[in-house]
Structure 1
């Protein structure tokens, strides 16, 4: 199953990012084949919602997505009204962590390519735009964040990145400020 074709960006760094994310996608699909037939292409323009990508790729059925959304909304935590959908999908609906991470990267790629002039929504997206972090590194820490949350711990992405030694506090702080400024 191939991801939907993406609009090519003119910048070589965008093309390199696109290639890296798609290569990671293909490697992940090879390691974790989807259990379902690919679903229909999501309606409208990308970026799509997380569940739409997973249905389209064949990792989730529409019925399972509806159940997962209802379940995630029914699991409040002290700091959130609902549980993150990705955590519910990994912990209860057998979506492999690497598949979730690469799907989030595809969503980010779509956002970057479809609306390149809009500011980033998340710190990871900002770090990818700056080429401060590779897609592979971001995928690793996204997987760790979901795994930790599933075990009752919420760790900030910046803390996970710093623990790996990939970026210093100053770089992480600047990325957080860039995202906050954009909001």
Structure 2
């Protein structure tokens, strides 16, 4: 568990993320039987969560990973965007897997600093998992439609945090 997150705050965050996970499972049942448990230590890679939960086959994950690298004609794209646009993975499922990954980061690698602004905001209880899930979904959908918006801009557009507060969190993340 993170030394930056008090035990009671971690449990509240864990409960909220797992609640969102179960809600997402009921709204979007997996297409496949759950895959084998990932062989690596947690936190796992995004694709491992999705195969394990039955949202992707190992073959689909491999193809999506290859497509995300780009080639001579196409520049690289985020894996999540490939999964949503080419494999019909609901954006809500993608964001749920990202939240589970964040929870595993807090539980298994507590001394590592957050890699993403959303993770920092969850650690500091500045956003709820539901709020972060919403803006992550918006970000993926916008990117798939050819528009990239920063997560901080989406958060500010909702009025949850202002630009000055977001800048403070980014500075905290980078030391």
Q: Using structure 1 for the length normalisation, give the TM-score.
A: 0.89
Pick the aligned partner of 1:93 from 67, 80, 87.
87
Q: Find runs of 4+ consecutive structure 1 residues off by over 2 angstroms.
A: 75-78
2: CA distance between counterparts of 1:76 and 1:52?
Answer: 27
2: CA distance between counterparts of 1:10 and 1:164?
Answer: 27
2: CA distance between counterparts of 1:32 and 1:57?
Answer: 11
2: CA distance between counterparts of 1:90 and 1:71?
Answer: 13
Q: Which residue of 2 aligns with 1:132?
A: 126
Give the structure, 1 or 2, with the largest relative contact order (CA under 8 Å, sep 6 or more).
Answer: 2
Map 1:151-162; keep pairs closer than 5 Å: 151-162=145-156
In structure 1, stretches of 5+ residues that fail to align are 1-5
Pick the aligned partner of 2:40 from 29, 38, 44.
44
**Alignment of 1:58 onto 2:19:** no
> Deviation at 1:180?
2.1
2: CA distance between counterparts of 1:112 and 1:131?
Answer: 13
In structure 2, stretches of 5+ residues that fail to align are none
Q: Using structure 2 for the length normalisation, give the TM-score.
A: 0.93
**Alignment of 1:178 onto 2:169:** no
2: CA distance between counterparts of 1:76 and 1:160?
Answer: 32
Q: Which residue of 1 aligns with 2:16?
A: 20
Q: Per the alignment, do residues 171 and 75 of structure 1 end up closer, same or farther by CA in structure 2, a change over 3 Å counting?
A: farther
Q: Per the alignment, do residues 123 and 32 of structure 1 end up closer, same or farther by CA in structure 2, a change over 3 Å counting?
A: same
